[in-house]
Structure 1
């Protein structure tokens, strides 16, 4: 008879054990290595020699990435209307040939947003070789006269620092303290009556409460502090029906809701007629 053999004893599975140990080692070892590296870098950065060593290592790393093809070959800019492209590249501190990993997007964004026309910027590295820039530029709204100077402003009332204003001569002129902050709402209101708005040559802020409008460079219109839009619409209706602004008037006061006050130009006194005189300057004698 054959003997029945009992079951062989199980051997431990080395694969499972070694896999567990590997995962455990990675889970513990990598953070330790990173922490050690950071600590070493921090210690090195405390001394001038350490700083030079770290900078040298960083430069060598960037050179290595450049040899692998990670260099800027294209800079794509969207939203640019006024800002010069060379000015953008100068603010970036990067251009074709620059190692793309050497460019700090956050710092580049901050630099771009210091430019006069740039309201906000987005900067992205698109590996392996492209820098992507998206700009939101400021839109000039009006020229602001205050304190003896002229400045260009945007819709938010912020000053756009430009050196020459001659190319913005067709923009509306707003005058006085507080005019910049309230210019956008005023111009939006004027735009509801475009035919009359085209005749407004300046808007003067009075006491930072209300506006006076200069029409045709000759007539001052006094708008109320409250509900100026209604007064503006009323003035436009009267101009269409009665052409009151084509009369010989100095001011039109629409601050009162139930009446319109006009001040006419004073009449120039006519010169009295002179009598004909003789050569000696006396009146000539009449025949009787």
Structure 2
């Protein structure tokens, strides 16, 4: 604030007009409006309330309260795209309390909370005025069942765990078992799928020592594959099955871990039949030699 010589005060430019107005009021040149004091008091209180709301960060709550009580509270939530995600879980994560107003509701905050649900791959949250919220969910797609210890989990094609497996409509999915099976399973299953006759016969893909695979067939036969050349070994197995019906025989296992030979494990009955056939052949040779 500047002072002139002689002690006169020079007001800032923005205060000069209000000061002249007050001088006119004091001189009786301006008649105040009726109820002016009440109006001024109300304005002061209103300004104080607004300032407190802004300074305290309570504006969103105030907007929620006012709009909710004037008919803009969220009355309906439409959930689409959810097969495994329950609507109860969706509404709980959306965070409605019966008075939540659509105007101040944070759709982005709801989307972030919903994205954390186990089955949710993606989600869109849209506000539809005056009082509807739409939640459009895209769920993850299970690729296989992973057995680790005594626990079963549904996994995606990239090996990510979705949720525990508790039966239901996913029982027909392929099962991968063992340490490393979750990560390596999808790629290996794709190799087996190139031979439909073998793939249709497989019950489980078993990871051994996180180094190689066994195939457990639906008829109980175990195929032991080598650590390397899986694609070539599977092609050989498919050829033997086409030409000789190998996998439909009375056997317990096919060991293909050695590149120069294949070891066939016979069932108990097949082993006895084989031994009996060998004894008969031996006796026939002895008998033939005696006649000579």
TM-score (norm 2): 0.64
5+ residue gaps in structure 2?
Answer: 1-50, 277-292
The correspondence for 1:184, drawn from 183, 186, 196, is 186
CA distance in 1, matches of 2:53, 2:73: 28
Q: How far apart are 1:163 and its partner, in Å?
A: 6.8
Q: How far apart are 1:232 and its partner, in Å?
A: 2.0
Partner of 1:153: 155
CA distance in 1, matches of 2:267, 2:165: 40
Partner of 1:214: 216
Superposition map of 1:159-174 within 5 A: 159-162=161-164, 164-165=166-167, 167-174=169-176
Q: Deviations over 1:89-128 (max 9, x none)?
A: 1221138863113422232122212222112222233444
The correspondence for 2:110, drawn from 108, 133, 155, is 108
Task: Give yes or no for the alignment of 1:142 onto 2:148.
Answer: no
Partner of 1:75: 77
CA distance in 2, matches of 1:74, 1:227: 58
Aligned residues of 1:75 and 1:95 also touching (Cα < 8 A)? no
Cα distance change of structure 1 residues 104 and 264 upon mapping to structure 2, 3 Å threshold: same
Q: How far apart are 1:200 and its partner, in Å?
A: 0.7
CA distance in 1, matches of 2:245, 2:126: 58
Q: State how many pairs are aligned.
A: 224
Q: How far apart are 1:268 and its partner, in Å?
A: 4.1
CA distance in 2, matches of 1:262, 1:215: 15
Q: Deviations over 1:181-212 (max 9, x none)?
A: 12222222232223321211111101212211
Aligned residues of 1:116 and 1:162 also touching (Cα < 8 A)? no
CA distance in 2, matches of 1:152, 1:203: 15
Q: How far apart are 1:83 and its partner, in Å?
A: 1.4
- Secondary structure of 2:173's partner? coil
Cα distance change of structure 1 residues 228 and 185 upon mapping to structure 2, 3 Å threshold: same
Q: How far apart are 1:68 and its partner, in Å?
A: 5.6
CA distance in 1, matches of 2:219, 2:227: 22
CA distance in 2, matches of 1:76, 1:230: 52
Where is the helix percentage greater, Structure 1 or Structure 2? 2
Cα distance change of structure 1 residues 97 and 230 upon mapping to structure 2, 3 Å threshold: farther
Q: How far apart are 1:213 and its partner, in Å?
A: 0.3
Larger CA deviation: 162-171 vs 232-241: 162-171
Task: Say what the alpha-carbon RMSD is for the aligned residues.
Answer: 3.3
Partner of 1:253: 255
Cα distance change of structure 1 residues 132 and 118 upon mapping to structure 2, 3 Å threshold: same
CA distance in 2, matches of 1:219, 1:196: 12
Aligned residues of 1:72 and 1:95 also touching (Cα < 8 A)? no
CA distance in 2, matches of 1:222, 1:163: 27
Task: Give yes or no for the alignment of 1:236 onto 2:206.
Answer: no
